Amino acid sequence: MAADVELIIDVPRLEEKLILEELGRLGLKFKLTNAKYTPLVWGERPAEVSLIRAVSMQRAAYCAAIREASGIRAINSAEAIVVAGDKILTLSRLWRAGIPFPETLI
């Protein structure tokens, strides 16, 4: 493995710059991947962990799925990204977990 952490982005923002600075401060080796321009390859293992920070929900979910299939821990997972981006799926998870939420009509 070349890096401890891979940061996957599609739009560079201040938050990602701060994350990279903190990773460096902690002494972690990191790799920055812009998924808008760099294709991800199944089986490629550039790091132990991939932080998925793509703005596009679809691109983020796809990146997470590829990294997870390659045996890399993705934060956030493809499942978490898809569920968080869909109100029905989110409310269904809350309901099953017994977590109350306001009356919602769909």
Residue 8: per-residue pLDDT: 99
Please tell me the predicted confidence (pLDDT) of residue 70: 97
- Name the band, by pLDDT with cuts 50, 70 and 90, for residue 80: very high
Q: Looking at the whole model, is its pTM more than 0.85? A: yes
Q: Rounded to whole angstroms, how far apart are CA atoms 50 and 71? A: 11
Q: Please report the pLDDT score of residue 1 as a whole number.
A: 54
Tell me the percentage of the chain whose pLDDT exceeds 70: 99
- The residue among 40, 48, 55, 45 whose CA lies nearest residue 9 is 55
Q: What is the DSSP string of 38-49?
A: S---TT--SEEE
Q: What are phi and psi of 81, to 5 degrees?
A: -65, -45
* Residue 2 pLDDT grade (very low, low, confident, very high; cuts 50, 70, 90): confident
Q: For the chain, what's the residue count?
A: 106
Q: Which fold has domain 3-96?
A: Rossmann fold (3.40.50)
